[in-house]
Amino acid sequence: MRVFRGFHHPGIAPACALTIGNFDGVHLGHQILFSEVVSRAYKHEGTSVVITFDPHPLQVVRPDFGIKLISNEQQKEELIEMAGIDVLVIIPFSKEFAATPAETFVDEILVKTIGVEHLVIGYDYAMGRGREGNIDFLKAQGKEKGFPVTVVEPFYVDDMLASSTKVRALITDGKMRYVKKLLGRYYQIRGEVKRGKQRGGPLVGFPTANLAISPEDLCPKHGVYVTQVIYDGKCYGGVLNIGYNPTFGGDQLVAETHIFDFNQDIYGKPIKINLLRFLRGERKFSGPEELSAQIRKDAEEARQVLAEAQKEIVLSCEERYNR
């Protein structure tokens, strides 16, 4: 996938099919949009294009809203590439850009710069100053300027609307099984392993890999989770605690992961952590011994959950190949 940042690049035609949006989280609703774009481009031997923005527009026009992102820019790029998109255009979003009239955006960016031949948009999409570029506007623009517009309807899973707002709410509530249904994958946090207080191994008997959580990041419900930890191309089971470590009077929000069957020095190394299931809320224990006993129980339960998840994968593969 080719990635362009900004406005100044050659036209992307021939037969460019594209969609536009923030695509935070790249949930199943977004993936359906991408699939439609790829299909339209393939039929006309053309190019599939996604336009997105950085930073998130709400961070610029409504900083008081305090939007928390499901995925960072790197994750979003990876997920869009996995959807089979040919070209990703990332437009820097500013207050000046937010004031751009919708028709100017269509003329200068979609038509002249990119060369749109088919536009695919979600059912609730609107662009331009004051969101004036709604679906009716875009259909009229397409009719006038020679590109058809396809509107993708809302997508539901178990009566849940696949939307970034819904996914954020589920993550905040720790409902990771439902999150997976809307994302089509486990929710993931990532970062470099930081050197912590060095209490996990010596005091508690369970060494941890620590990630600092930025105030701008979407933080899941505080507590203990079953995890898959991805490091150096390999996947390990584990248990994660997100919170302030009240047993030791902590005052900094951290994510501490005990990785099963793992004994490597990974300080300063990047890891990815998939959150499979919420086990319990964060608690203050009387001391290291009580905390250690509880972590041992958490680890036993986590291993059972991981075994069940692996069994599901095996059964799914068997069903696929026995059809």
* Residues with active-site annotation: 256
DSSP state of 34: H
Partners of residue 234 on adjacent β-strands: 231
Strand order of the sheet with strand 149-152? 2-5, 87-92, 47-54, 16-20, 116-122, 149-152
Beta strand 209-212 with 254-259: parallel, antiparallel or unpaired? antiparallel
Taking phi first (over 0 means left), then psi (-120 to 50 degrees means alpha), and beta for anything else, what does residue 42 get?
Answer: alpha
Partners of residue 5 on adjacent β-strands: 90
The distance of Cα 241 from the centroid of its chain, to the nearest Å, equals: 20
CB of 172 closer than 8 Å to CB of 220: yes
Summarize the chain as % helix, strand, coil (round to 5): 40, 30, 35
Radius of gyration of the chain measured on its C-alpha atoms: 22
Cα 286 to Cα 22: distance, rounded to the nearest angstrom:
46
Q: Which two tokens stand for residue 124?
A: 């609730």
Among residues 256, 257, 209, 237, which one has the least CA distance to residue 300? 237
Partners of residue 68 on adjacent β-strands: none
